Amino acid sequence: MKLDILAIGAHPDDVELACGGTIAKSVKAGYRVGIIDLTQGELGTRGNRSIRAKESIEAAQILGVKVRENLKIPDGKIDLSRKNLNKVIEVYRKYRPEIILIPHWQERHPDHVHSHYLCREAQFYSGLRKISLRTYGKKLEPWRPNKYFHYMQKYEFTPSFIVDISDVFDIRIAAIKAHKSQFYRPDSTEPETFLSQKSFLDFMETRIKYYGQQIGVKYGEPFYSVEPIGIKDLFVLQMFER
């Protein structure tokens, strides 16, 4: 199956938290979108592999994505090994996305930093013909995603563009809350984390309100592009009333 957009995260809830609204909006617009989780999040304080896998499936159904896969790289070991590179290259060649959404390289969590470099290097090597990979006996032809954009996690950056997600905010929140083990529950007996604090989801809403305000809408998700973004017509850019 060919995808238009592929979002990749280190842990099962990363994509929903960072760009769930953009995914929902893209699905609503008719684009074929997929999610790849690099690890099962087994080193996380709350939940376990089984619970997080079920939550991921529920979140994917809420977002309406065509594909969600977990590459099962050991949590905390997202390095640039040939084995890990080949796993990501295989995904790129199998789904042939035009756009990939990946973590920024300046991040608090080492897994997010390492995920950036893994996804970025795989994006380049995936286009090389002399790297030969097969799946189920079938050769995977070279494919290099056309564009890669970075989503925001803990650390902020000056966005290259902001996506208006006002009309899909409720879907974004529902997908995030599908990861029940990770967020606030008054009956939980598990240790508290930054994500499980009662105020965390309010903090996230405040942030996307701030970025929405930057473009004159209620909610926005910010992205960064290393390369200039070319357009053929100024009116391709959405203009918002101030």
The string of pLDDT tens digits covering residues 127-180 is 999 999 988 778 999 999 999 999 999 999 999 999 999 999 999 999 999 998
Express each pLDDT in 54-65 by its tens digit: 999 999 999 999
Q: How far apart are CA 55 and CA 68, in angstroms?
A: 12
Helices (H), 100-179: 110-125, 169-177
How far is Cα 42 from Cα 72, in angstroms, rounded to an integer? 10
Question: Which domain range does residue 122 map to?
Answer: 5-236
On whether residue 241 sits in a domain, the answer given is no
Identify whether 90 is part of a domain.
yes
Residue 204 lies in a domain: yes
Structure tokens at 164: 């208006």
Mean pLDDT across the stretch 101-130?
A: 97
- pTM for the full model? 0.94
Looking at the domain assignment, is residue 46 inside a domain?
Answer: yes
- Report yes or no on 242 lying in a domain: no
Domain count, the chain: 1
pLDDT given at position 196: 65
Q: Which domain CATH number covers 80?
A: 3.40.50.10320
**Mean pLDDT, range 74-80, rounded to an integer:** 96
- Average pLDDT on 92-101 reads 98
Instruction: Flag whether 203 is in a domain.
Output: yes
Q: Tokens in use for 104?
A: 């920024």
Domain contains 55: yes
H or E segment at 161? Answer: strand 161-164
